[in-house]
Amino acid sequence: MTVRLPTDHRGRTIQGRCVMRRHLSWLVIAMIIAAGLAAPGQAQQPLPIRIAWQPYNAVIFYTARDLKLFERVGLQPEYIRFTAGPPQFAAFRSDSVDVGLFGTAGMVVGASQELDYRNFYIQIASNYADGLVVRPESGITRLQDLRGKRIAFVRGTSAHLGLIKALQRGGLTPADVTMIHMDVTAMAPAFANRDVDAAYSWEPWISRMQEAGGRVLVRSNQVGLNTSDHWVARTAWVQRNPRAVLLMLKAIDLGLEEFRKSPSVAVRATAENLGVTETIAKRIVEINPVISLEQLVDPKFELSLLPGGGAQRMIQEVGDFLLQQGIIRSPIDASKIVEGSYIQAYLRTR
């Protein structure tokens, strides 16, 4: 039996027309917002924004925060710090935060749990900074030497994914090692106390383990893993506050400008926000490739946020891998996570 969808007077299906209307409405909203940001007018009340963040390599965010760029563009930020994904997932689920920072794997795990958010900005390619740190007396000089060793990690993170990739690269499986899940804040003390032989982590924790004598064996980009650090916004919040997310992008843009003029500003901000020395902060800033807003809407860029772009492919690959490994139970559709239109709308205001 053939089922005919209802049509309008032009012969278009009502379903298709609704999809088109939703798409066009977002374009119209984006243009209106862009015009509003670009045009001078009376001073407006600051817009509140609750920003969830974790101590990652967020050098541009730290710069914008320390220079009060969010306040300068008309936002009233509240900063809420997390050290792990599950509490941050709960905050998104209860609508206690509006935007947040995740690693690729963490963002995918949240999406698999039906958290409705959109990835509107990618700050760095984190696979250059995440890595496996080994103790000097562990006897680990190559990936094959991990067999039988105790390795600290944080479940459901990009570092977890990196560890699995590293084991595979060394011809090993998780069954060949002792994987010890722990909070990232406990990792450096466990490493210093020799409770573990190695740890797969990210900055600033890698630098802290290096201070305890650790050596980076491999970085994630060396084991074939592509990951980034992502800013996401709750979809319902954006629909109610479309101007606020573009103001956040404006603050980020100003932070990028300050970084280009003087990287030392980012070094000081990173040191203060992460509680590390400026020497460590300088290493963190230098190891992370900073991404411009223009790159993120360039279809040729490897992490483009445009539909079908590099970010979508990377996120889908990570999601498929996490599903295969049993880390997530439900598949994700990366096309429903990436969102490049917010940056496109902001760039029209320049």
Residue that is last in its domain, among 197, 223, 249: 223
Q: Match 């320049």 to its residue by tokens.
A: 350
Domain co-membership, 104 together with 247: yes
299 within some domain: yes
Provide the residue type at 245 as one letter.
V
- List the one residue out of 208, 57, 185 whose CA is nearest residue 124: 57
Average pLDDT, the chain: 88
Instruction: Tell me how many domains the chain contains.
Output: 2
pLDDT in tens, 220-240: 889 988 888 899 999 999 999
Domain co-membership, 53 together with 80: yes
Residue that is last in its domain, among 191, 223, 255: 223
Residue that is last in its domain, among 223, 251, 281: 223
Range of the domain at 143: 128-223
**289 contacts: CB under 8 Å, gap ≥ 6:** 124, 125, 128
CATH number of residue 105's parent domain: 3.40.190.10
Q: Please state the pTM of the whole predicted model.
A: 0.82
- Note the Cα 318 to chain centre separation in Å: 13
Domain co-membership, 117 together with 135: no
pLDDT in tens, 84-109: 888 999 999 999 999 999 989 999 99
The rounded percent of the chain whose pLDDT value lies above 70 is 88
33 within some domain: no
Rg (CA), the chain: 22
Q: What is the rounded CA–CA span in Å between residue 207 and residue 55?
A: 13
Confidence band, pLDDT 50/70/90 cuts, at residue 203 = confident
**Phi and psi for 142 in degrees, rounded to 5?**
-150, 165
- List the one residue out of 181, 211, 218, 175 whose CA is nearest residue 196: 181
